[in-house]
Structure 1
């Protein structure tokens, strides 16, 4: 999932910060109810025109191993780019079912192995999202990798189809529909979904008018097929990968479609691969994820000696937060510079959720809570990404979620699910079960989601925080079960989104590094305290 901005700090959004012009906010926007004036292609004629197994065969046939060095590498643009990073483009079919039809460009980057004598191959740094750029990952997260990993691999980044410096898409959404707290479907203060459904209709109309033909072909399976085209252009018979967040689903789908093309695959902060729900499960998982992660914030916010302490005991923090959110539902307070320019209950809930992604944001959240409770001036509003980048990211994220699987169309379905979620998980107030853009999407999925299975080489290692607000442990366990003996899982006693090299957990980091450099995995699943 996308990592949103933390209160009062530069925007870290889902690990996106690597290229400031492409930073974007929050998990996908709210788009619902159907479109008039467009005729979706019949699902039966297009969906599953090729089964996932056949898709693997024909895509593989289109992507033979190319000689090394066929890409034209040039210097990359950007102020914060490592001078060693090189960039190139790879042409791929817009529609992989029509390999001789129109094409699009993928922006690809690399930092070559720092010790060619021990080079093993290429390591794809698969970004999260959907709707997250990754072109500058070799200069960013790639430089956090231990030296022996950077020696063993060329680090490969890319902007997925539709994103950033690849051939982009843009739906031209109204600004009010892409404000940071609007990008998740927070219901009305009384649990109403009426406003969300209205936003969905506006956004669906915008995508139908402005999205262009590429919008129909933004799917996880097509991203995986694109990765195999990149592998071929690199001249690699197999590739390794470090995938994070939504990228774990991309990586699992790639390993399913192209098992013989995988070398060593690390899936970090894992999404539930349920093919019946796909993105619906990822959004719904926030209710469980926030419940898992909140006690860590409560313990921190009640710790003696903490200058930002909110309560005497951890048990007092939850009711304190809920009372404040309810009060702000009734009586929002101005927040100059924010979008919208007020702190209401849902903006506070949104800020909690985004802060739990990275616990180093706890002090900023605590200061916001204290100021709001005491009627003091609020801290500076969060940094917002450029609108062009935000428009692009939301369009890609929306289309990918909606094209992967069909979502319910009935408003009653969402009303009932929101009511149940609000009762069981008040910290998220029904948002995770609310209607997303896909409830109104004008197109049917063109093919069935790929079912992740245990068929293929045993070369996958999952790493997972126990308390992840966006990709909770329960979903990671489902991916682990689906992969069977192909995988092992390392569970880390940590809070936050992303695990490898993110928590200072020597056991977890050591286990992943050993796998990437030697191929050795634990004999069974392990827990790192």
Structure 2
């Protein structure tokens, strides 16, 4: 995923007893340095937690914590926003939830997960690794393949050289143990959880290890626990990413009077492929080659909110040769100051949660096999995750996810979401008897709550406020359905 081990070297995490009160420091609340949090009247603090939870009296690290307190006479409880590694937004998620999900009645708490700034220490590996002038994604020669392997090894080596001890303790089980210390430091018997995308797996781990600490739980775009991470972060995504890209081609054809890229999906797809060939031969604005082009335009497979913006960028490039806009958009997505920190912490977790294949021949064969079905995203996804092939931290043993003791959960997913396919939500629903699944029929968006679908957000807010869930339907299906938001309409249509 780009939004940002055949034999495991087992590092078994021993969790504290679920009902034990762990030894923890307190949070000293004060003013927030972040302007958005400060403007919302939030309070911020830090929490000291063990670097290695198996050695609680050893070295410590610091977690940055934020809280937007309830504004009603009484609080209905505390919602802990679980960090999503790809989003890098755990610290600010308290603010988003408070604004959009009936936050006036709740205390919303966010935290920057271990390794994520402003928690300390923060992971840094190679700033600019996701920048311009990368080799082409598709390795049409052994030389291109070797370039990517060298880049991936350099990144993994730099991460290990900079924060070796931290990287040995970046697994989802470590993050779940941090969450338990946050709960204890807040002085709460139970917390409700709100998680999106990759964060939903951490929430699954926490609720499996500490089921009696969970009041209510919202999982948006739920990771399939059977597939972490070689498949879930990689091959499972590619066919639906390709499908959603082609849905965008069909949408562009519908508005040919605006974009003039073709009147059918096939015509638009041909024009798009011609542009990939064009920038492979001569990068746009001297910087956006095949890899950057594919990474940028694949955003349409994640979110309809990008459709009009990237449609205009594609049309202006095709008709006017405007490469500077394409370059600026790529920089806006991939060259933000926190990019290396976000990418490095994601690698630190998914590469060490469990075993990845240790044979590059297997990676190559699996990639070419998937490429035949999904040519646009496949090799880029492999190279995005390829530092895991060289990762130096010990690999962990995944927790067997079991929600039998969790009383209540609401799962949310759009049925055509690509980065976290709908099947993951169905699987987790089957493991949590107290869960209900809200499906957004034919929606293509990833992590779709808090994005303006009133049907979804209102149902989440109502559930958090009352705890009421719809009746559970028999079999492997959704329990309630919301309509997808209308497709965007470009200006001038």
Please, what TM-score do these two structures have when normalized by structure 2?
0.87
CA deviations 1:236-295 (Å, max 9, x no partner) are 1000111111111111111111000001100011212126x4354222233133134234
Residue 528 of structure 1 corresponds to 482
Question: 2:103 pairs with 141, 146, 150, which one?
Answer: 150
**Which 5+ residue runs of structure 2 have no aligned equivalent?**
473-478, 484-493
Residue 417 of structure 2 corresponds to 468
Question: 2:64 pairs with 95, 101, 107, which one?
Answer: 107
Q: 1:270-419 alignment to 2 at 5 Å?
A: 270-274=222-226, 277-278=228-229, 280-304=231-255, 307-329=258-280, 331-335=281-285, 341-374=286-319, 376-380=321-325, 381-382=328-329, 383-384=331-332, 389-419=338-368
Residue 436 of structure 1 and its aligned partner are, at CA, apart by: 1.5
Residue 254 of structure 1 corresponds to 206
The separation in 2 between residues aligned to 1:227 and 1:2, in whole angstroms, is 26
Residue 515 of structure 1 corresponds to 463
Q: Does residue 80 of structure 1 match 2:36?
A: yes
SS of 2:90's partner is coil
Q: Does residue 173 of structure 1 match 2:173?
A: no
CA deviations 1:169-222 (Å, max 9, x no partner) are 3344263x332796x993435595322211122112212221241121011111
Counterparts in 2 of 1:174 and 1:78: CA distance versus 1, 3 Å: closer
Q: 1:475-490 alignment to 2 at 5 Å?
A: 475-481=424-430, 483-490=431-438
Question: 2:392 pairs with 434, 442, 459, which one?
Answer: 442
Counterparts in 2 of 1:199 and 1:62: CA distance versus 1, 3 Å: farther
**Which 5+ residue runs of structure 1 have no aligned equivalent?**
4-25, 27-32, 34-41, 336-340
SS of 1:307's partner is helix
Q: Does residue 159 of structure 1 match 2:112?
A: yes
Residue 388 of structure 1 and its aligned partner are, at CA, apart by: 5.4
The separation in 2 between residues aligned to 1:83 and 1:206, in whole angstroms, is 38
Question: 2:145 pairs with 181, 193, 204, which one?
Answer: 193
The separation in 2 between residues aligned to 1:477 and 1:292, in whole angstroms, is 20
The separation in 2 between residues aligned to 1:83 and 1:462, in whole angstroms, is 28
The structure, 1 or 2, with the larger RCO (C-alpha pairs under 8 Å, 6+ apart) is 1
RMSD (CA atoms): 2.8
Residue 460 of structure 1 and its aligned partner are, at CA, apart by: 1.0
SS of 2:258's partner is coil
Counterparts in 2 of 1:332 and 1:473: CA distance versus 1, 3 Å: farther
CA deviations 1:99-135 (Å, max 9, x no partner) are 1111111110101011032x12111112312571422
Residue 424 of structure 1 and its aligned partner are, at CA, apart by: 1.2
Counterparts in 2 of 1:492 and 1:190: CA distance versus 1, 3 Å: farther
SS of 2:412's partner is strand
Instruction: Tell me if structure 2 keeps the 8 A contact 1:308–1:363.
Output: no
Residue 487 of structure 2 corresponds to none
Instruction: Tell me if structure 2 keeps the 8 A contact 1:127–1:245.
Output: no
The separation in 2 between residues aligned to 1:351 and 1:307, in whole angstroms, is 21
Residue 218 of structure 2 corresponds to 266
Instruction: Tell me if structure 1 keeps the 8 A contact 2:245–2:301.
Output: yes
The separation in 1 between residues aligned to 2:188 and 2:133, in whole angstroms, is 42
The separation in 2 between residues aligned to 1:423 and 1:267, in whole angstroms, is 32
Counterparts in 2 of 1:135 and 1:83: CA distance versus 1, 3 Å: same
SS of 1:104's partner is strand
Instruction: Tell me if structure 1 keeps the 8 A contact 2:218–2:460.
Output: yes
CA deviations 1:65-109 (Å, max 9, x no partner) are 99xxx5321010023333411001111111111111111111101
Pairs aligned (count):
468
Counterparts in 2 of 1:501 and 1:185: CA distance versus 1, 3 Å: farther
Instruction: Tell me if structure 2 keeps the 8 A contact 1:185–1:436.
Output: no
Question: 2:180 pairs with 219, 225, 228, which one?
Answer: 228
The separation in 2 between residues aligned to 1:265 and 1:185, in whole angstroms, is 42
The separation in 2 between residues aligned to 1:430 and 1:173, in whole angstroms, is 21
The separation in 1 between residues aligned to 2:275 and 2:459, in whole angstroms, is 42
The separation in 1 between residues aligned to 2:79 and 2:175, in whole angstroms, is 16
CA deviations 1:441-491 (Å, max 9, x no partner) are 12321x31112123212311110012223112233323333x241321111
The separation in 2 between residues aligned to 1:501 and 1:442, in whole angstroms, is 37
Residue 328 of structure 1 and its aligned partner are, at CA, apart by: 3.0
SS of 2:440's partner is strand
Instruction: Tell me if structure 1 keeps the 8 A contact 2:303–2:446.
Output: yes
The separation in 2 between residues aligned to 1:267 and 1:438, in whole angstroms, is 26
Residue 495 of structure 1 corresponds to 444
CA deviations 1:129-182 (Å, max 9, x no partner) are 25714222233453122xxx313310111100011011123344263x332796
The separation in 2 between residues aligned to 1:392 and 1:344, in whole angstroms, is 24
The separation in 1 between residues aligned to 2:350 and 2:417, in whole angstroms, is 21
Residue 353 of structure 1 and its aligned partner are, at CA, apart by: 1.5
Instruction: Tell me if structure 1 keeps the 8 A contact 2:2–2:295.
Output: no
The separation in 2 between residues aligned to 1:49 and 1:419, in whole angstroms, is 35
